Structure 1
Amino acid sequence: MKRNDEDWKECPDYITAGEKSCYFNTSYTSIWIPYCVKLANKDEVFDEKCFSVDEIVLPDPPVHLNWTLLNTSQTGIHGDIQVRWDPPPTADVQKGWITLEYELQYKEVNETKWKELEPRLSTMVPLYSLKTGRDYEIRVRSRQRTSEKFGEFSEILYVSFSQASLELVHCPEEIEFPWFLVVIFGACGLAVTGILVLLSKQPRLKMLIFPPVPVPKIKGIDPDLLKVML
């Protein structure tokens, strides 16, 4: 029944969903409306649960999983990575009609037990202290924030800590010497030197650029009179 109703209705379909199941199609349910269901035998009620349709929808798996190396330890034994993914294309999370939280699980390839992180709303998660030289498997699933059940897992993302990739990350790139700057400054220097040489060979230009040093004079002495006295 609808939560605000008083009359319980019989299950419309016991066949489609299989044995010990009840199936409701869109003729009997609508989104955003709360319903209550109960399992009963005459006057005895065994279980009862209330929910809205949007709360129990299981989202599709996340897509586009990828990873990047953050850093490695000084000893090269452990490494940290960042895992990213996109929400399911069928989940309208951008407009806020649905809010998803994600659970990431990972393990080494030769292990059987998955390690899981606490569910979170973010679509990127760091993984710390992974052993280098090992291969890992990572998978992610999602659920609605108000739901208890997760949807199916995504495709498995494989992470390989090969020695070559670690050396590529850790080996700093060689610093290229700026030869083009040397050529530019050298050309400018030669041009300025050539101009100065050409100008120095022209008398008039030489007088303008390098005027003669004036002879020191003593104020108050007539040079013509001085010549006569001598």
Structure 2
Amino acid sequence: MDLRHLLFTLALVCANDSLSTSDDLLQWPQISKCRSPELETFSCYWTDGNYYNLTAPGTIQLLYMKRNDEDWKECPDYITAGQNSCYFNTSYTSIWIPYCVKLANKDEVFDEKCFSVDEIVLPDPPVHLNWTLLNTSQTGIHGDIQVRWDPPPTADVQKGWITLEYELQYKEVNETKWKELEPRLSTMVPLYSLKMGRDYEIRVRSRQRTSEKFGEFSEILYVSFSQIG
């Protein structure tokens, strides 16, 4: 093989490697999650990816189909849940009927997921966390407190439409690892034998009772014993 032929062959190899690398870097649009905060409505979200010109407004559509439907229908609301989202209000939400959703344009389908609404419940965070001191030990070394909170405002727990259980986590301010209590239905939890003279952080999250997935944590509640101890 002469030098010119060798250089041409090497150039082809390099070009193919470059094309392969470029293809690897391309990302198709994907459905990132579908979520219902209260078992009455739900939203689906997606990422644009970077494949050619698919980021132009209106290029990608979210289509959905319920079981026994014959045709795919387009997202009813692209606005309410924010950018790259589709919101299904109560009129479009059927709790026990499976859905399939897909991202598509006129030519092809990029991603597809199927689920029922009860499978995608991730409640909003609990709110209004507060604490009260129950008692202190005779030695003054430890204290017991009661922590209270309210359910997520979006979850209709009073009428029993959804049943939530809560997980409380706590730690000293200067620690990195959270301690957690067993999930429970109550919105009032005692914490025993906290060290006086220390400061603590407390957070709470919730999940539908029949689910294993928790929603996001509440804002952190700070408990200061440093002025008491």
Q: TM-score, normalised by structure 2?
A: 0.55
Closer/same/farther in 2, CA of residues 56 and 48 from structure 1, 3 Å limit: closer
Q: Which residue of 2 aligns with 1:139?
A: 203
Deviation at 1:67? 0.6
Q: Answer whether contact 2:172 2:201 (CA < 8 A) is retained.
A: yes
Choose the corresponding residue for 1:116, options 170, 180, 187. 180
Q: TM-score, normalised by structure 1?
A: 0.55
Q: Which residue of 2 aligns with 1:35?
A: 98
Of Structure 1 and Structure 2, the greater strand share is in 2
**Can you give the 5+ residue segments of structure 2 that lack an aligned partner in the other structure?**
1-64, 103-111
CA deviations over 1:164-220 (Å, ceiling 9, x no partner) = 4x6xxxxxxxxxxxxxxxxxxxxxxxxxxxxxxxxxxxxxxxxxxxxxxxxxxxxxx
Closer/same/farther in 2, CA of residues 64 and 28 from structure 1, 3 Å limit: closer
Q: Answer whether contact 1:102 1:141 (CA < 8 A) is retained.
A: yes
Q: Which amino acid aligns with 1:35?
A: P
**Can you give the 5+ residue segments of structure 1 that lack an aligned partner in the other structure?**
40-46, 167-230
Q: Percent identity between the aligned chains?
A: 75
Deviation at 1:74? 1.8
Alignment of 1:17-28 (within 5 A): 25=88
Deviation at 1:147? 2.4
How far apart in 2 are the matches of 1:65 and 1:139? 8
Q: Which amino acid aligns with 1:116?
A: E
Of Structure 1 and Structure 2, the greater helix share is in 1
How far apart in 1 are the matches of 2:101 and 2:155? 29
Q: Answer whether contact 1:83 1:124 (CA < 8 A) is retained.
A: yes
Q: Answer whether contact 1:2 1:33 (CA < 8 A) is retained.
A: no
Is the deviation greater in 117-126 or in 73-82? 73-82
How far apart in 2 are the matches of 1:76 and 1:163? 13
Structure with the bigger RCO (C-alpha within 8 Å, sep 6+) is 2
Larger radius of gyration: 1
Q: Answer whether contact 2:95 2:116 (CA < 8 A) is retained.
A: no
Matched, 1:66 2:130: yes
> Pairwise CA RMSD of aligned residues?
3.7
